[in-house]
Structure 1
Amino acid sequence: MSDTADRTTEEGLRLAGDEMSTGFYGLSVAEWAIVLIAVNNVALPSVMPVVIGTLSRDLGFGVARAGYITSISGAAMVLGAICFPFLVLHFKRWVLLTGGILFMVLGFVLTVLSPDYHWLIATRALTGFADGIAAAACYSLMAGSSNPSRLLGMYAAGQGLVGIIGMALLPSVIAVLGWRSLFLFAAIIAIPALLFAPRVGKYHESGALVLRRATFLLPGKALASLGTIFLMFAGLAATWGFMQPIGEARGYGTGMISFAMSLSAAAQLIGSLLVGLVAYRLSIRGAALYGSAAIAIAIAALSFPGYAAFCAAIFALNFAWGFLFPFLFRGLSNSDPTGRAASVTSVVTASAVSIATAVSGALLEELGETSLIVGGGLLAIAGLALASALHGEASEDKA
């Protein structure tokens, strides 16, 4: 490494020390800023039912075309996340983060200019692609932090909180101010993230130099760690995605199922908060044992009749989801300090959910409810077993 690179790295480390000096709940100012930006990036996906309802009802597109617009946005987001590991070999992360948020805001503003169907497809694709780059940058920054599992726990909790509040308030706001208010609101709340992005990236500049010197090839342990996340998400999504038809088959009404789904959002929020505030000290193996127990409880509860057992199963399943993901992310971040593997986390999770729901529909029809529930649970537990084997007694976060 040249003297110039040495000085740049030293300066990056000095900035890191400055940004990491003040903390709240064990996270520095820069780390809380990463959480804020990451939550902002998923503000609209967190209220997806509201988005689909607005496009289908207020703009008159119908459910099918509204779903198509949403899927285009989601596919563009995945594409942006896929492109990030290539881009980060040539640009610093704070540049990609700032640019992603800037174009995301631009996409929101352009969305409100016209209700034309094809115009909305184009603007939502732009927003999704930019959001994918920004989200990948956030995952990469969280992986390079000294507290990856705490950051992801707080991020997941923030995402859940945005979903709960947004889905409760936005329909009334849109009814009064019109459909454009949804996208204008998304653009306005992104402004703080845009202001924080350069500062957040600066304390990671030394890490960006490592990325730029590295090849694109990922370590084998990092690929296996991504596999643990894929297995857990696929296993839990296999059951979660079909809880509504399972409830309907058991004769529960719409109101009862809606209450159970609301309970699930609270359970996931509690699981994430528990990690962010307290349980981050657990080893990955210890967390896997607790998570496996929660999944086993969900499987057992679903084998019993009665609405209370149904609610208990949904609570245990989603608690496990919120609780386990930060620990698996810690294992991933430890297996690849450059953050390149972590940047494709959203690609892995989205693929796992998509594949699981596609396969599970056929499984439910052909083999029945029990096979789906047990099979999904065992798949998730297999991911946790692999994480335990890979990361053993790794406890807490990086010093």
Structure 2
Amino acid sequence: MPVQEQERSPSAFKAWLGVAAITASLFVFLTTELMPVGLLTPLSKSLGVSVGVAGLMVTAQGVAAGLGVPFIVAWTRRVNRRLLLSTLLAVLTLGNLITSVSPNYPLILATRLCMGFASGVFWAIGVSMAMRIIPERHASRAAAVVMSGISIATVVGIPLGTIVEAHTNWRTTFAIWAGLSLLVLVAVAAIVPSLPSENAVSVREVFGLPVRNGQLRTVLLIVIFFVLGHFGAYTFVRPYLEDEASATSTFITVVLIIFGVGGAVGNFIAGYTVNRSLRGTFIVGLVGLLAALLLLRGIGDGEAGAVVALVLWGLSFGAVQLSQVNMTLAAAPETFEAAMSLNTMAYNTCIALGALFGGLFVDHVGVTSVIWFGVVLAAASLLLRLSTGWRKDISTSTVSEDDLAPTA
């Protein structure tokens, strides 16, 4: 084994346990962020606020995760990444605990803001940590494993939190998640190896990256279009199915779980294909996403058609999600954490904007309009990627400065 890989992975088994601990970190961060979605009614009643106001718990954390991350990643650029992740998990644990006992809504909202900053930093450093602790040839697979935490959170975490609330109350749900966050903190501290900071970049340099790096600038634009389109449509998939397919709440729950399973499968497949063709994996994923939206519009007025469309949508989303992370790495291998902080800022901000624009279309044009909103923006992302001429299809395992030079 080469000396570099020995340094990266002194024990293959322990290294993959470390990847599992980072994946568990993603699970608790994402479920904490999205948990209020399933608990809005009991939360609003208990705290004496409207459902819309209660929904700001999700918005506040998402906005904080997006806007704060480039600054915090830059300010902590010399901190050991294991220590930084442990600190982020400590913030998450304390935040969930405070939420579970908070006497009023303003304290909860302030707590969610703090947890949002921690969540954003995790998204910037988590994948790169996993890719550093295993042999370099398996870096893409490690990224895929970590990103599978998104699907696990969707399929298992959010429904589990809702079930706990149904049998106890929402405070118990957040108390349990505080305990889970603490367990993950212990696992990270015990299993993940020491990871001295790499790619130290100041705030000014972070925001200067897309100015100097044309490929990264293009990748960020591709991500912005894709995220706006996907979340603009996906946020309103429930009212769409209720209106078009007369879907019941039980059926919608089932197809959303199916979507999550499809995302996990697509993510797993992409873990192997991105090394063979990163560009091809992303393009195929976006084509699949476009096809899924068109299928939903064409045959989604029946339950069978809706299932087919959501399965394809989930598979495609999983592949595109992993590909865009690898595209960011390929565009800025020497400053990956800084580039991912910009990616996180763009991604989280566009989740909020996608939901906002989608809501405006729903209110003023009709619920079917969000499907066309998603189609147009996903197509824009696809066309931008197709029109981009990079010299060779870069894999995450073999990147050089010559590879990154754009063609004329």
1:376 paired to 2:379: no
- Displacement after TM superposition at 1:381 (Å): 3.5
- Displacement after TM superposition at 1:326 (Å): 0.7
3-state SS of 1:303 partner: helix
> Residue 240 of structure 1 aligns with which residue?
234
Equivalent residue runs for 1:39-54 within 5 Å? 39-54=27-42
Is the alpha carbon distance of 1:221 and 1:92 closer, same or farther for their aligned partners in structure 2, counting shifts above 3 Å? farther
Unaligned runs of 5+ in 1: 1-12
1:265 paired to 2:252: no
- Displacement after TM superposition at 1:81 (Å): 1.7
Unaligned runs of 5+ in 2: 399-408
Is the alpha carbon distance of 1:114 and 1:70 closer, same or farther for their aligned partners in structure 2, counting shifts above 3 Å? same
1:281 paired to 2:275: yes
CA offsets, 1:161-196, max 9 Å, x none?
233223333334334443332222222112243235
CA contact (8 A) 1:107 1:123 kept: yes
> Residue 155 of structure 1 aligns with which residue?
146
| Counterpart selection for 1:332 from 321, 328, 334 | 328
Is the alpha carbon distance of 1:79 and 1:311 closer, same or farther for their aligned partners in structure 2, counting shifts above 3 Å? same
CA contact (8 A) 1:228 1:386 kept: yes
> Residue 6 of structure 2 aligns with which residue?
17
- Displacement after TM superposition at 1:18 (Å): 4.2
> Residue 158 of structure 2 aligns with which residue?
167
1:297 paired to 2:291: yes
1:316 paired to 2:312: yes
Sequence identity of aligned pairs in percent? 21
Q: Give me the whole-angstrom Cα distance separating, in 2, the residues matched to 1:394 and 1:382.
A: 21
- Displacement after TM superposition at 1:297 (Å): 2.5
3-state SS of 2:355 partner: helix
What amino acid is the match of 2:91? F
CA contact (8 A) 1:139 1:342 kept: no
Q: Give me the whole-angstrom Cα distance separating, in 2, the residues matched to 1:205 and 1:15.
A: 15
- Displacement after TM superposition at 1:213 (Å): 12
1:394 paired to 2:403: no
> Residue 5 of structure 1 aligns with which residue?
none
CA offsets, 1:24-61, max 9 Å, x none?
6x974443333232333223124342343442245454
> Residue 112 of structure 1 aligns with which residue?
100
Is the alpha carbon distance of 1:215 and 1:358 closer, same or farther for their aligned partners in structure 2, counting shifts above 3 Å? closer
Q: Give me the whole-angstrom Cα distance separating, in 1, the residues matched to 2:147 and 2:196.
A: 25
- Displacement after TM superposition at 1:287 (Å): 0.7
Q: Give me the whole-angstrom Cα distance separating, in 2, the residues matched to 1:176 and 1:364.
A: 34
> Residue 350 of structure 1 aligns with which residue?
348
> Residue 402 of structure 2 aligns with which residue?
none
Q: Give me the whole-angstrom Cα distance separating, in 2, the residues matched to 1:69 and 1:300.
A: 32
Tell me how many residue pairs correspond in the alignment. 384
CA contact (8 A) 1:142 1:152 kept: yes
Is the alpha carbon distance of 1:270 and 1:207 closer, same or farther for their aligned partners in structure 2, counting shifts above 3 Å? same
Equivalent residue runs for 1:86-101 within 5 Å? 86-101=74-89
1:129 paired to 2:124: no
Q: Give me the whole-angstrom Cα distance separating, in 2, the residues matched to 1:51 and 1:152.
A: 30
CA contact (8 A) 2:239 2:367 kept: no
Q: Give me the whole-angstrom Cα distance separating, in 1, the residues matched to 2:215 and 2:96.
A: 38
> Residue 83 of structure 1 aligns with which residue?
71
CA contact (8 A) 1:88 1:212 kept: no
Q: Give me the whole-angstrom Cα distance separating, in 1, the residues matched to 2:359 and 2:57.
A: 23
- Displacement after TM superposition at 1:273 (Å): 2.6
- Displacement after TM superposition at 1:274 (Å): 2.4
CA offsets, 1:297-328, max 9 Å, x none?
32442224533223322222222111111111
CA contact (8 A) 2:225 2:380 kept: yes
> Residue 223 of structure 1 aligns with which residue?
217
Is the alpha carbon distance of 1:21 and 1:48 closer, same or farther for their aligned partners in structure 2, counting shifts above 3 Å? farther
CA contact (8 A) 2:30 2:150 kept: yes
CA contact (8 A) 2:151 2:264 kept: yes
3-state SS of 1:190 partner: helix
- Displacement after TM superposition at 1:105 (Å): 1.7
CA contact (8 A) 2:223 2:381 kept: yes
- Displacement after TM superposition at 1:14 (Å): 7.8
Q: Give me the whole-angstrom Cα distance separating, in 1, the residues matched to 2:391 and 2:285.
A: 15
1:33 paired to 2:21: yes
Is the alpha carbon distance of 1:378 and 1:151 closer, same or farther for their aligned partners in structure 2, counting shifts above 3 Å? farther
CA offsets, 1:214-234, max 9 Å, x none?
933213322221222111111
CA contact (8 A) 1:15 1:202 kept: no
When the two structures are superposed, what TM-score results if normalisation uses the length of structure 2? 0.80
CA contact (8 A) 1:140 1:343 kept: no
Is the alpha carbon distance of 1:15 and 1:293 closer, same or farther for their aligned partners in structure 2, counting shifts above 3 Å? closer
CA offsets, 1:115-139, max 9 Å, x none?
2222222222222223333333324
CA contact (8 A) 1:144 1:333 kept: no
